[in-house]
Chains A and B, each alone.
Chain A
């Protein structure tokens, strides 16, 4: 067994209620994930991320294709694979009527852990996740972050070889998000393979050994974050902040040589270009001619977010014409999550 996950020609067509052919959600995708790897699965809403994850965790029956988890074909006998899988869905699915302790005991029993093992492990996890003091409190009294941590603890109580995480951190406070990211890294170090679907592109950039970008049911790119960024040199950018402003500034910046898109981000302008060295002299000359003092000037390599937008066909700077700088910054973030 060389890979933790092997997917061959995986396809999912949701049957339609009418006479049509159904909805193609995942289209002949192939990938392999090695032991201990943190694998990010990125894509816009409706691209096929969750459908793929649900097929990998046996919750959804594929229309076509083969899934091997730790060498076991899920279509033939999912049982041995299921024993080594942990699953953290997007919504924390803890039993709110049970205490944190009872939730962990139940999951431990489900995975056939002995009483001694599950007691030791539950205590260890509750302490690590800062929930030990609340072990006898019903989960209905927990905050969203606490439920999330408990949900993850339940998924890893049996020390799975493969952990599936669906959107692990959105909506959490900074401290909870950091705890979870640290845990993911630690699990990977200990040899657990992590399959993570996320909208948080920066999170994927920081955590993942490799990422796959899925768009319209097909894998559009799959590689390490850094290699993906290098592939998309046309989305390099120069970020500049002026001491003052002038009328029609955005249009003037757009007309500079080698500028493809201009985006206003807070008090800065980001100019996308395929060649920062060519653009920089023009930009400095422009600021002198327009009498605009330069407050800061940086060249930026393409971010994973830029790569994601390029691959998924979403235009960089599509909302750059917002009148208010603050508004445009906020809307851009929102746009990136869509």
Chain B
């Protein structure tokens, strides 16, 4: 039992080392700034300009958008880049499990999203005079959402390829599609029955509704449902990542 506990602590420590290294190496890389930082803000402003939107409503949408887009940007950029440079082999050959490595990579995207969405929240509160109905829920939502969507990004990063472009394009495309069906730009209450049915498939729907609860104090779905779906999605998204990595080891990536 003691050995198992030591091993768990050891693996968690390894994951943290990978995360710290990636923060140093990748956070200021153009790919991360473009896809993880600038793009969600550009998208938000291009859709919100000339619309009469209350500060709180705007902030709720911006938070969901940045959590989603930023967290999911890291995996598709970092892992194929590391595969191309050969540095991923160093990590795969290191004494840690695949799960530990993936945990480290998930944390990289999640922390990036937490940082970017915190900036969005601070700007909203200080400059737009937005009020937060449930600050603790907002912080919890940012954390859970960031980890869930970082895990989603990891699926694309796990596709066996050494070319970041091969996965960034499809991952961006899918993220765009999800944005339009998840109540970010068109609220759930204004959607048709069919569109609403489709929106329930997307985990972003639950992140947006969670942010509505946190910032506006009201949402279309039950709070427990939003939290549960986001939490479970994060776990479910890990499975294809592990499978794709195992496939990569069979194919030689």
For A85, A92, A98, A106, the residue with the greatest tally of chain B CB atoms inside 10 Å of its CB is: A106
Give B242 Cβ to nearest chain A Cβ, in Å: 13
Contacts of A295 in B (CB 8 A): none
Contacts of A15 in B (CB 8 A): 250-251
* B246 CB–A CB distance under 8 Å: yes
Task: Give bound CA distance, A331 to B139, whole Å.
Answer: 67
* B21 CB–A CB distance under 8 Å: yes
Contacts of B24 in A (CB 8 A): 97-98, 102
Contacts of A109 in B (CB 8 A): 17
Contact A14 B93 (CB under 8 A): no
Give B173 Cβ to nearest chain A Cβ, in Å: 23
Contacts of A61 in B (CB 8 A): 246, 249-250
Partner of A110 from B14, B97, B246, B251 at Cβ < 8 Å: B14
Contacts of A89 in B (CB 8 A): 86, 89
Interface residues of A in 12-53 (CB under 8 A from B): 14-15, 51
Place the interface of chain B in its size category: 20 to 34
B252 closest partner in A (C-beta)? A60
Contact A91 B92 (CB under 8 A): no
Contacts of A154 in B (CB 8 A): 90
Partner of B95 from A95, A97, A112 at Cβ < 8 Å: A112
Contact A95 B87 (CB under 8 A): yes
Q: A93 with B249: in contact, given A79-B95, A110-B17, A110-B94 (CB under 8 Å)?
A: no
Give B252 Cβ to nearest chain A Cβ, in Å: 6
* B57 CB–A CB distance under 8 Å: no
B86 closest partner in A (C-beta)? A93
Contacts of B94 in A (CB 8 A): 82, 110-111
Q: Please name 9 further chain A to chain B contacts, defined as beta carbons within 8 Å, in addition to the given A60-B252, A79-B95, A107-B90, sorted by A numbering.
A: A14-B251, A15-B250, A51-B252, A59-B93, A92-B86, A93-B89, A110-B95, A110-B96, A154-B90
Interfacial residues, chain A to chain B (CB-CB below 8 A)? 14-15, 51, 54, 57-61, 79, 82-83, 85, 87, 89, 91-95, 97-98, 102, 106-107, 109-112, 154
Interfacial residues, chain B to chain A (CB-CB below 8 A)? 10, 13-14, 17, 21, 24-25, 29, 85-87, 89-97, 246, 249-252
